[in-house]
Amino acid sequence: MTISYVPLAMFGVLFAVLALGIPIAFSLCFISIIFAWSLWGFGGVSLLTTAVWGTMNNFALIAVVLFVYMALILQKTRVVEDIYDACYKWFGGVRGGLAVTTIVVGAILGAVSGVVAAGVIGLGLIGLPQMLKYGYNKKVSLGSVLAGGTLGQLIPPSTTMVVYGAITGVSVGGLFAGGITCGLFLAFLYCVYILTRSFLDKGFCPALPEEDRATFIEKIKSSKGIILPTILIFLVLGSILSGAATPTEAAGVGVAGALMLGVMSRRLTWKMVAESAWETLEITAMVGWIVAGALAFGSVFSGTGGNQLVMTIATSLPGGRWGVFIAANIFVFFLGMFLEPTAMIMLAAPILSPLMTKMGFDPLWWGLVFMMLLQMAYISPPFGFSLFYLKGATPKDIDISDIYAASVPFMGLQILAVILLAFFPEIAVGLSKLLT
């Protein structure tokens, strides 16, 4: 084996180790140490610790901890239920209305918390039983929960955007601005698909019976459940986009706002505060190990000529820079079938982001395309995380194969969205340019 092919061997060993069931974080650490030791000796291992230490001291990553804590507080104080109840009463009388409600609520939850697990599980427990109760098509019911729940990865405040920005140097504020338009655009495509299918097939997603529809007074009363979360969204995103606060500072504002919402609704308890803190510790510790392992892996990959190898392969592809763009999309999609999204960012972003910039693409635009591909990774079989989040929140008669099948149409819509971003880049970067 020549040194130029060591990077390829690293990826081959990585997938072999993952096939054995070893967690991704420890797989990355183990492979990095073995390759560094065998190639460079003890000094090579010390380089890994230096690289990890430097990135883990990045102040922007604190936002991940705070946004996760905010999401858990909102979940435990049943803000999700209030938002769904209001949207359910307003849209339930329309054919496909409950599925559209699920998408809309997913978008709102994304803007409130930015944590995918909270969105998918919350919608799975609250929205899915309602859709199945009223005779909605099983696949669109499951698919709308998957698609709506994962919008939190794209619509800010998104923890994955914070990680991507910290690793690549792309403005987190720019990613957040682009995430708003990309997320709303994707939600729009979902709703158009659902409403079109419902219009063409009356039995696909039937409207609620007259006796089960909310009165106008009930709709107005339920709207108060959206007012305070909307104010929180404007506080968090407004402070970032206006330049009044950094993403990390805005995350602190979000935590304070979530706690205030809990107090005002009289649902917050000290037990919830403590449980949320411990769960945040568990989640961020897992993210920390993934970041450390991926950084170590990336350092060895780069040190063995991996970046140069990727550039050589890219420049030999047919189709010029668009051939490279298509290959990069396929590569990220392939990784998404097997890896956790944070690990994908840490592995692929340091390789692809400089490459795409050299090919003449706007780094912010590519970052938003990358985020769209991560959105797809969450629901792509066989190991998309949202597939298993939803399985844990569904009745026993729903098999994992049903969830796999339900994800396919929405993955198709995500591919369509990426294609449209390629033809109309202003969808992604227009708002960011307007604010700068």
Q: In the chain, pLDDT over 90 holds for what percent of residues? A: 15
Q: Over the chain, what is the mean pLDDT? A: 82
Residue type, 153: Q
pTM: 0.80
Distance (Å, rounded) from C-alpha 26 to C-alpha 39?
Answer: 20
Please report, for residues 116, 296, 423, the alpha-carbon distance to residue 178 in angstroms, rounded to integers and kept in the order given: 18, 30, 16
Kindly report, residue by residue over 356-369, the tens digit of the pLDDT: 998 889 999 999 99
Confidence at residue 77, expressed as pLDDT on a 0 to 100 scale: 83
Q: Which band of pLDDT confidence, cut at 50, 70 and 90, is reported for residue 56?
A: low
pLDDT surpassing 70 at residue 60: no
Q: Which band of pLDDT confidence, cut at 50, 70 and 90, is reported for residue 7?
A: confident
Please tell me which of 105-114, 120-129, 171-180, 238-247 the model is most confident about, judged by mean pLDDT.
Answer: 171-180
Distance (Å, rounded) from C-alpha 176 to C-alpha 181?
Answer: 9
Q: How many CB atoms lie within 10 A of CB 386?
A: 26
Lowest mean pLDDT among 163-167, 172-176, 286-290, 394-398: 286-290
Q: Where are the alpha helices (DSSP H) in 77-137?
A: 79-91, 97-112, 116-133
Lowest mean pLDDT among 259-273, 328-342, 394-408: 328-342
Distance (Å, rounded) from C-alpha 402 to C-alpha 339?
Answer: 21
What value does the mean pLDDT take over residues 184-212? 88
Confidence at residue 2, expressed as pLDDT on a 0 to 100 scale: 45
φ and ψ of 143, to 5 deg? -65, -40
| 374 contacts 160 by C-beta, under 8 angstroms | yes
Distance (Å, rounded) from C-alpha 27 to C-alpha 25?
Answer: 5
What value does the mean pLDDT take over residues 81-104? 82
**Nearest Cα residue to 221 out of 383, 89, 407, 107:** 89
- Enter the tokens of residue 239: 């402070």
* Position with higher pLDDT, 115 vs 189: 189
